[in-house]
Amino acid sequence: MALISLEDLDGLDDEQLDDDITDNPEPMDEDESERLMSHWQAVASTHQVSVPQEMRGPIQEMTRNSQQREPLPFTTISSHEKMGEVQYEERLYPAGHWASVTQGDDLYEQSISTAFMKLMRFICKENSAGRYLGMTVPVISYIRMAKDGKTFEKEVETAFFLPAALQHSPPQSCDPDISIVYRQPIRVVTRPFFGTTTEETVGRQILLLWEILGATDELHSDRYAVAVYENPGVPRRRNELWFIRRDL
């Protein structure tokens, strides 16, 4: 099972939707709108997540603006390779304002999907500025391990760093579930992985990175983050697992 997130905004290949849907800044006509919504509903049916009709507007807006995403800024502290392949990197991400929502559905994938749809509505006019805000990538999901140390807690926080133009005066959300929070810099050890992001696949990546790094008290072992960059139409789409350092 995969999740519905910003990834699906890009998963519109030439056989599903015409290119001019994403390139055309004008409002979509009824046929274009229906094709786009049908695509999302088809994706949702495979993910066991429903897409309500109220998402039609936000989906259209974010599809039109899919090429206008800012990269989340960071500084690379170190990079570690083996036989020419990056094993992991250490990075420092800056302080700043994030839009954040915590969701606790039955499945990890459902929590992320529901949370991101709320963030989509915030980005697309359900905010104090009353306009499309833009967004950054990747979108980050923060997970905590259950007491057994193997499974995830149900509540998952999903967040994105506000674009640079909004950092000094961040708009507020009309949805009380979404918080605009200022966070201090975060230092992470990150490793890329490719493919789907489910509890099973992320759990395997956690074990793999611990094997590479070895035991250390410098990293949190009860919480992690997953960064999502690309769409499900990419056969080996890019994601990252983040281990969070206790200190900068």
Residue 135 lies in a domain: yes
Amino acid at 73: P
Q: Which domain holds residue 234?
A: 69-245
CA distance 237 to 194: 5
Residue 133 lies in a domain: yes
Q: In a structure prediction context, what are the per-residue pLDDT tens digits for the chain, which is 248 residues long?
A: 444 455 555 544 434 444 443 444 456 677 778 887 887 777 666 556 778 888 888 888 877 877 678 999 999 999 999 888 889 999 999 999 999 999 998 888 888 888 988 999 999 989 999 999 999 999 999 999 999 988 999 999 999 999 999 999 999 999 999 999 999 999 999 999 998 788 999 999 999 999 999 999 999 999 999 999 875 444 577 899 999 999 99
pTM: 0.83
Query: Is the peptide bond preceding residue 138 cis, with omega within 30 degrees of 0?
Result: yes
Q: Which DSSP symbol is given to 46?
A: H
Residue 161 lies in a domain: yes
CA distance 78 to 94: 16
CA distance 55 to 61: 10
Return the bridge partners of 96, or none. Answer: 183
CA distance 11 to 20: 14
Residue 160 lies in a domain: yes
Residue 56 lies in a domain: no
Residue 120 lies in a domain: yes
CATH code assigned at 152: 3.20.80.10
**Number of domains comprising the chain:** 1
Q: How far, in whole angstroms, is CA 206 from its chain's centroid?
A: 18
